[in-house]
Chains A and B, each alone.
Chain A
Amino acid sequence: MAFYLYAIAPAGTKPGRLRGISAEPLKALAVDGLVAIAGEVEALPAATVDALQAQDLLIRALAARMDALLPARFGTQERSAAALVARLEPHVEAFTRALVEVQGCEQMNLRLFVDAPARPKPLRRRSPRDGAGTRYLLRAQERLSPSLPELDPLRAALGDLLHAERVKGSNQPPLRASVSHLIPRGSAVRYQALLAGLDRPEGTRWLATGPFPPYAFAPEALS
């Protein structure tokens, strides 16, 4: 038996007649002013293609009914409703901030491909006197969350359309990074148009897909 989490939503949200990926009825658990949409399942669902697609469809159905939603990753579950609520409660502040951020928005995924191997980038030095330890942290920061200056023209072109960005660097050349952009709902076509109208730097390619519910903008606590 497990309580399987699908998403966090604002207070008062009701999942209605939607069913979970194991065909279980959905419940709205109160979490300190927010709502956790979860289902009680016999066994943990296996991560098959069908299960993943079913969860994606369910999240889309939920996202269509409400302005703000934080999807959980596949397989987020606890032994009981109480355990799930206890796990989520310490993060309510972060969830609330995230809900405000994603309100009325959806996500585009942008992948950046680069032919040439990445040259070591000039570090974001804070002062010329940065020691080895500081440089180590700066390198780690750049590795975990690359700043990707090559996307600046796109960011400028998007302007107000771009509400937030998340970047995941990659070790699989030619894939350089996977970027998620938070844009107002309904602006995916405009996003693609702006992207198509830009000159790409030589030897780089990008591919935008979407729109999706705002998976990448859900706090880490929902992983």
Chain B
Amino acid sequence: MSPPKSRLPHPKRPALPRAAPRSTVVTRAPKPRKRPAPPPLSQRLVGMKPVEPEPLPREQSLLDVVDNLLNKGVVISGDAVLGVADVDLVYLKLSALLCAADKLSR
């Protein structure tokens, strides 16, 4: 897989203090860590067959798109449209007014 074109300057990370230095190579290298010895060949073929992700039925992938993009979690939106006599008059947006009280003093 060819790496995406890089344009200078093209920083890819937030400028934050980091514990370990990172390479600037575009391909995604795994984190260096100790790996256990690979299982013997027989076990690899029998018990640990490489599994390809099943191609998703169209509806399943659509469900994921909707869930990912529309699911706002619990009680986030306090929006409502207020009106009288079937006429919408006011858009109420509660979410903008509230923040955690213990953070106010900062």
Contacts and interface: CB of A to CB of B under 8 A. Distances in A.
A touching B, CB within 8 angstroms: yes
Interface of A: 10-14, 16, 33-34, 47, 49, 52-53, 55-56, 64-68, 71, 73-74, 87, 90, 96, 99-100, 103-104, 109, 144, 160, 168, 178, 184-186, 188-189, 192-193, 196-197, 209-210, 212-213, 215-216, 220, 223
A90 B72 CA distance: 19
Nearest to A12: B11
Instruction: Tell me if A's interface is mostly helix, strand, loop or mixed.
Output: mixed
Contact of A192 (B53, B65, B74): B53
Contacts of A66: 12
B76 A87 contact: no
Contacts of A103: 13-14
Instruction: Tell me if B's interface is mostly helix, strand, loop or mixed.
Output: loop
B14 A209 contact: no
Contacts of A212: 64, 68
A74 B77 CA distance: 13
B4 to A, nearest CB: 6
Interface of B: 4, 7, 9-16, 28, 30-31, 33, 47-53, 56, 60-62, 64-74, 76-77, 96, 99
Contacts, number: 102
A34 B96 CA distance: 21
A33 B16 CA distance: 11
